Structure 1
Amino acid sequence: MRAAVLGGAGYIGGELVRLLVGHPHVQLATVTSTRLGGRRVDSVHPNLRGATDLTFTAPADLGRHDVVLVATPHLRDAAEMAGVLERAAVVIDLTADHRLTDPAAYVRHYGTEHPAPDLLGTFCRGLPESHREQLRTADRVSVPGCMATAAILALGPLVADGLVDGTLSVDARTGSSGSGATSGDAGRHAERAGTMRVFAPAGHRHAAEIEQALGHQVAMSATGVEAVRGVQVLCRAATRAPVTERDLRASYRRHYAAEPFVRVVARSRGLYRQPEPKILSGSNFCDVGFAALPELDIVVAIAALDNLMKGGAGNAVQCMNIRFGWPETSGLEFLGLHPV
């Protein structure tokens, strides 16, 4: 099956290329870049040396493919998506452009009108844990943001089981790769080193995705930490009635028992007793954990993932596997490293 990566020069694009060149059911035929046409892909992503001889192609020369995975900067491809849809049987969009379904919500959270509002609501949410059956036949898929994915997986069982009520609080921490390969001055190592930079103290765009998925109002903050990869979220919610940790464990185990990439991690012993993104680098796992404060009628839900994998490229490949009827773990078997 012929695949293309649209916008392959960034971090997410590089992860897509890495996963697809080793995928047992895919021929990666094209990788595009607006700036680097003609250059070798492995000159930008040196970890791919010896794995591919592909060079970057101009987006206008994309051609016809069975599946196109879009990893361009947000808003850049939104106006051009109609053309992409004409050149691929299946389009999997990793940008923020089609994650929301309501044009008014898009304006509120992104500060501008969507250039193609008729496309909003036509993409299936690219989260297998909640939309697996829809993904089996979806020709348009929109992969959620990394922090949104972590928060939805952390809170989803509690909402589904009716254990929590009211506004959900999401406190997210993210590594520097979440800002992208062209993040500007604030992303320079000299500025990020040693910092815990609160860049969204009272709101983040991913809150809209969480609200859309869970049906609750969300109060979200986000902090940039010194790590390169990784997202960790600590979510707090009021419970409808006192809830014990045994209740929480039963809820998470029931919802995620059959999920290949979600692991319940809430232990009293060990090096990593709650979800830790460090040991997930390069893997497609999302670890979820919990803690209960029954005397305050509050529960804490925790999740960690690699923002470039389960928070991006890995999740997209998982959706692709489902759509084409392949084993869901194809090309995603890497378990992570310890120690790192």
Structure 2
Amino acid sequence: MIKVGIIGATGYTGAELVRILSRHPQVELVALTSRSYAGEEMAGVYPALTGSTDLNCEDLTPEEVMDRAEVIFIALPHGHAVPVATRARERGIKVIDLGADWRFRDAGTYEEWYKVPHGNHKLAARAVYGLPEIHREAIRSAGLVANPGCFPTSAILGLAPLLQGGYIDPETIIIDSKTGVSGAGRGAKVTSLFVECNENINPYGVAGHRHTPEIEQELSALAGRAVTVTFTPHLLPISRGILSTMYASLARPATEAELRQVYREFYAGAAFVHLLPPGQWPHTRWVYGSNNCHINLAVDSRTGRVVVASAIDNLTKGASGQAVQNLNLMFGFPETMALAGPGLCP
């Protein structure tokens, strides 16, 4: 059994980690940290976890968590994971960070977009970007994994086969993404209030969202050249889910049937990525609560563009489920352990 600690257990991603790991046959949860709910039962903070865990939340120092755990998940706001992960790696403890602190190979990019000093550029260059469908082998031997952002997960999975195969012009990529309100976290915010977001949809972070350079970093690696994208997220009045619709001009003539075969070959053996039948476009409802990513595409012969849509649950494949997928790879477990299964029906 692998002893696991979660630092920041009572946010939405932390709670989702507890939900998934409580049913993992090779994991023993040994520490759940929270300052706001210290001393309270985790199942009291999230009653849906009743019967799944009897652990209390504790206000532990990172060192105290490290004394108990072989691997730690960090579910903290950006800027807080660097000293924790640095010390954990010095002690030989594996780390999966769900925040942004380790996602950039060049920590200077992180500093530019997140407006805080990083603190460990050398370790950042060695962290592995935790998108298993792209970096599976590197994750297996990693000591520090940077779990991807939710928007980047949906966008990169949707575009990767086309970019690696040279089928689209990288200079023409437009990414239009829509997310549920849980992506904003559990903290009180005016924009997350029911009366503010209900019966409403709005763009935000236009021409400057912090997930943009993360998307560009990974797409550039796939394309073998620098890629700059136009990315615009929108807030939907739903709890969970991301739908990304992506547009790009074809770099050479290709039929839809040809591109569908490219996707089937690229994701062969990828248990969580599913290419839907022609004409069946992804719905966020279909992946709700699952670690799946549903994808479909169409070639617009009139404009010479390809349209790709991908749907994920932002808290599962977009965060905690993917983090457990990384854990499984790091410790040699089946990649689908504790994660297999469809979304909720209906």
Q: TM-score, normalised by structure 1?
A: 0.95
Partners of 2:336 and 2:5 lie apart in 1 by 20
Deviations 1:259-313 (A, max 9, x none): 1000001423xxxx11111121110001111111123221111110000000000
Unpaired runs of 5+ residues, structure 1, are none
Unpaired runs of 5+ residues, structure 2, are 221-226
Q: What does 1:206-285 align with in structure 2 at a 5 Å threshold?
A: 206-215=211-220, 216-268=227-279, 273-285=280-292
Partners of 1:9 and 1:88 lie apart in 2 by 26
Q: What does 1:1-340 align with in structure 2 at a 5 Å threshold?
A: 1-60=2-61, 61-62=64-65, 63-86=67-90, 89-167=93-171, 168-215=173-220, 216-268=227-279, 273-339=280-346
Q: Look up the equivalent residue of 2:337 and give its one-letter code.
A: S
Query: For this pair of structures, how many residues does the alignment match?
Result: 335
Q: Look up the equivalent residue of 1:45 and give its one-letter code.
A: Y
Partners of 2:74 and 2:31 lie apart in 1 by 12
Deviation at 1:257, TM superposition (A): 2.2
Equivalent residues of 2:176, 2:232 under 8 A apart: yes
Equivalent residues of 1:243, 1:294 under 8 A apart: no
Equivalent residues of 1:64, 1:88 under 8 A apart: no
More strand by share: 1
Q: Look up the equivalent residue of 2:265 and give its one-letter code.
A: R
RMSD (CA atoms): 1.4
Partners of 1:232 and 1:95 lie apart in 2 by 21
Q: TM-score, normalised by structure 2?
A: 0.93
SS in structure 1 of the partner of residue 324 of structure 2: helix
Equivalent residues of 2:33, 2:59 under 8 A apart: yes
More helix by share: 2
Deviations 1:12-70 (A, max 9, x none): 00000011111010111111112221111111111101221100122313123111111
Deviations 1:148-180 (A, max 9, x none): 000000000000111011322111100000000
Q: Look up the equivalent residue of 2:144 and give its one-letter code.
A: R
Mark the CA change 1:87 to 1:9 in structure 2 (over 3 Å): closer, same or farther: farther
Instruction: Provide the identity percentage.
Output: 37
Equivalent residues of 1:242, 1:295 under 8 A apart: no
Deviating more after overlay: 74-83 vs 229-238: 74-83
Partners of 1:198 and 1:306 lie apart in 2 by 19
Q: Look up the equivalent residue of 1:36 and give its one-letter code.
A: Y
